[in-house]
Amino acid sequence: MTVPVRSLEFADTREAADLAAFLGRLLHYDRAAAVRMQADGGALAVFGRPPSFEVLAIRAAQLTGSHEFDVTVSAGELLESLDVEGAVAAGSGALPAPVTGPPWTGVLPPRGGWRELPGLPGPVTLRTAVIAAVAEFRSRDEALPEERRTRAERDLIGREIWSRAVGRTELPLRAVHAAQSLGFLRPSPDFPVALLTAGSWLRLRTPYGSIALRGPGTGLGTLAVSVGAG
């Protein structure tokens, strides 16, 4: 079924530029990436799943006027529609035609019921942990004898490193790595970061976006469909 193209007007040009940056980073990891978009009133939530991190990335934006839609679209087409430099109308875009989304698009975090958890280190410590983990992976990879230098062996090393819990929490280090890679994390001592939980979900929240995932041992594919970014 053909869906009429719907224009998107952002509250300011920075909203559109930040969303464009997020989409660009998703496409860096997956050129065929899809995103699920949900609008409620003036609030827009865009969900993506960068490969290898096994997390959901959530970027919020503010639209002008009141909107209500829930659709999965091509991240590339959405990025192409955004006008961030004022060639036509700065801070605008268009909602692309819907696509058949991958399985993760039917498994989103709950909209409400989130509460903050203690034990999360500060942003500088989080960034340092990611840098140290990347260095450790490279060191262990280089130390592998030639006959064991395989994708499977490297995956084992990566899984062991990135599944480590952060601080006094159950948040795996891969969630922090995802936040860093997608531009959600800043290495400033006063940069606000928080760890939230709702049901079996964990969520690393920053002013630039959130990283959400199911708790240890629950995976991403068993929760009933829920709407909203929280």
* Secondary structure (DSSP) of 103-142: GGGG----SS--EEES-PPPHHHHHHHHHHHHHHHHHHHH
**Exposed/middle/buried for residue 184 (C-beta within 10 Å: 0-12, 13-18, 19+):** buried
Q: How far apart are CA 230 and CA 228, in angstroms?
A: 6
Determine the length of the chain.
Answer: 230
pLDDT at residue number 7: 87
The DSSP secondary-structure symbol of 146 reads G
* pTM assigned to the model: 0.87
Paired residues of 6 in beta bridges: 95
Q: How far apart are CA 212 and CA 54, in angstroms?
A: 9
On the question of pLDDT at 68 being above 70, the answer is yes
Domains along the chain with CATH numbers: 6-106 (3.10.150.10), 118-191 (no CATH)
User: Model confidence over 165-209: pLDDT tens digits?
Assistant: 999 999 999 999 999 999 999 989 899 999 999 999 999 999 999
